[in-house]
Structure formats: C-alpha cells, structure tokens
Amino acid sequence: MLWLLQVSLEKVKYLILDEADRMLDMGFLPDIRKLVNEMGMPPKNDRQTLMFSATFPEEIQKLARDMLNDYIFVTVGRIGGANIDIEQRVLQVTAMNKREQLVSILNEQGLSCFLKIC
C-alpha cells in the first residue's frame, strides 16, 4: 500500500525565497504560485515574506508585488549590474593547497575580504 504524506503549510509565519531570479529562470514560477495560493499557506497579510535576488528583473518585481504585503523594493548598487566596488579574482589551486592559499590571502588582505573557495 502506498502512503501519501502531506505537510501542512497553514502555520507558516515566514516564507523566504532566496535566488528568486534563478527560480524564475528554472521555470519554478507556477510551482511558487501554487505553493503560496493553493497549498493552505496563510495569506500574505498573515505571514512575513522575504525575497532575495541579485538581479531582480521585472518579472521578479511583479511576483514580489503579488506575494508580499507592503512591498518594499530595496537596491544596493544598480539593478542587473555588478557592483564596481567588488573585485573578483579566480585562483586555480590544487585541493591540497587550498588552506595554504586561503591563509595567505587572509594574511595579505585581512578579514575585510570575502572569499568563496570551491
């Protein structure tokens, strides 16, 4: 016998959509709308909804207006462009030398820099 488990969304207080632009690009908009409108989630007036997007194209802004209560649009820098104050560098480092390279950069730059090492 197959059992179908369901999760109740009726007590959701916070809905956070990170990388909303990527979700849109990947075709998740209908799923997001269904989740919010048809799956028993409280209406936007009864929950806190936060959306984050690096680019925030017009389609995401429309989605935000539909889903958010008292929609406020905050930008840092210009929409759709990289911040001119951020320097990006790619360093190819062997797996064995990642830690040594990280320590070297932190010693050189201090803790004010942000790194993502993959």
Closest CA to 49 of 71, 27, 21: 71
19 contacts 26 by C-beta, under 8 angstroms: no
- Rounded CA-CA distance 27/84 in Å is 30
pTM for this model (two decimals): 0.57
Higher pLDDT, 2 or 83: 83
The sign one gets for the Cα dihedral 48, 53, 54, 55 is negative
Write the pLDDT tens digit of every residue in 25-73.
Answer: 888 888 888 888 888 899 989 998 888 877 777 877 888 888 888 888 7
Average pLDDT, the chain: 80
